[in-house]
Homo-oligomer: A and B are copies of this chain.
Amino acid sequence: VIVDKVLSLLHKRQDLLNKRILITAAGTREPIDPVRYVGNRSSGKMGYALAETAAKRGAEVILVSGPSNLPIPQGVTIKKVETAAQMHAAVLSEFDTVDVVIKAAAVADYRPELIAEQKIKKTGDTLTINLVKNPDILRELGQQKKRQLLVGFAAETEDLITHAREKLTRKNLDMIVANDVTLPGAGFNIDTNIVKIIHKNGTIEELPQLRKQQIAEIILDKICIMLTKSI
């Protein structure tokens, strides 16, 4: 009760009270052998900012995170995973219990077909790695969803709006946050981002360069409005 009081003083809005939100963050690692892996760039900063802000605003937050050294936000339930398969299992096991899913993680689309049990010695001049497709977690959630709101992210390097809109439709999302990771002030391992928010109805909002914490607040504002409408 005291903690709640302090929180509500620090952060006046408790507009996510009684909402259960699953947030994914950071990148996955797909092992090639015990020391090498295929990774996806993501510091986890956007997902951790969302988790922290949602918790402050009263939500019950489950954060499913790939490897990251970021501090775990207070009041958040953390589930650490490494591979896309582990993230898939963690997300699916919670899906029925949550009101909102925000998928900010950079999940590997492909994984090595074979994982070498021992470190591959560098005998050859070349090495070929065959990758096979990972399950598409977001798409599965889009097919299974009932009352849940689904929010995705699209990190693109070209044709940002086209790719993001297409992803929103194909995966049955309610909202997608798109960013061009090649822009200065946007993208990986920095504290700011430049995003466009695309809604299911086609509306596009372009935000200026903001701190990831500020972007988290804005995304959660949109989610609050959608939750109110869907009641």
Query: A-side interface residues toward B, CB under 8 Å?
Result: 29, 32-41, 67, 69-70, 106, 108-110, 113, 117-119, 122, 124-133, 155-158, 181-182, 189
Contacts and interface: CB of A to CB of B under 8 A. Distances in A.
Nearest to A119: B157
9 contacts: A34-B181, A35-B155, A36-B39, A37-B39, A37-B40, A38-B129, A110-B122, A119-B155, A126-B130
Contacts of A181: 34-35
Contacts of A29: 39
How many copies make up the complex?
Answer: 2
A-B complex: 6 closest residue pairs judged by Cβ atoms: A69-B69, A109-B122, A127-B131, A39-B39, A129-B129, A119-B157
A125 B134 CA distance: 9
Contact of A41 (B35, B40, B69, B130): B35
